[in-house]
Amino acid sequence: MDLDPELAALRPLGGFFVLRTAGAAPPTTLADAYATPPPDAHRDPLAARIALVAGRLRAPEPRVAVSVAQQGLAARLWATALGCAARYGRLPDLAPRLLRWDPLGSAPDDLWLAEVRPLPGEPDLVTAVLHGHLEPLAQTLTARYGIAAGLLWGNAGSALAGAARELDRWARAHGRDDVAGRARALTGALFAHPLLRPTGTRTAAAFRRRSCCLYYRVPGGGVCGDCCFTRPPRSSPEAASGRP
In this model, does residue 29 exceed pLDDT 60?
yes
Give the integer Cα–Cα distance in Å for 34 and 208.
Answer: 28
Task: For the chain, give the mean pLDDT.
Answer: 92
Query: For position 10, what pLDDT does the model report?
Result: 97
User: Are 216 and 222 in contact, with CB atoms under 8 Å apart?
Assistant: yes
Which distant-in-sequence residues (6+ apart) come within 8 Å of 143 by Cβ?
36
Instruction: Give strand pairing partners of 200.
Output: 209
Reported as a single tens digit per residue, the pLDDT across 166-180 is 999 999 999 999 999
Give me the helix-helix angle, 149-173 and 177-191, nearest 10°: 170
Name the E strands within the chain: 99-101, 111-113, 200-203, 206-209
Which distant-in-sequence residues (6+ apart) come within 8 Å of 216 by Cβ?
222, 223, 227, 229, 232, 233
Query: Mean pLDDT throughout 77-106?
Result: 96
Q: What percent of the chain has pLDDT over 90?
A: 79
Local structure of 99: helix, strand or coil: strand
121: left (phi over 0), alpha (psi -120 to 50) or beta: left
In this model, does residue 41 exceed pLDDT 70?
no
In this model, does residue 63 exceed pLDDT 80?
yes
Query: Mean pLDDT throughout 111-129?
Result: 95
Query: For position 23, what pLDDT does the model report?
Result: 83
Query: For position 238, what pLDDT does the model report?
Result: 47
In this model, does residue 20 exceed pLDDT 60?
yes
How would residue 142 be classed by pLDDT, with cut points 50, 70 and 90?
very high
Q: What percent of the chain has pLDDT over 70?
A: 95
Q: Residue 198 gets which letter from DSSP?
A: G
User: Are 69 and 53 in contact, with CB atoms under 8 Å apart?
Assistant: yes
Which distant-in-sequence residues (6+ apart) come within 8 Å of 155 by Cβ?
67, 70, 71, 74, 211, 213
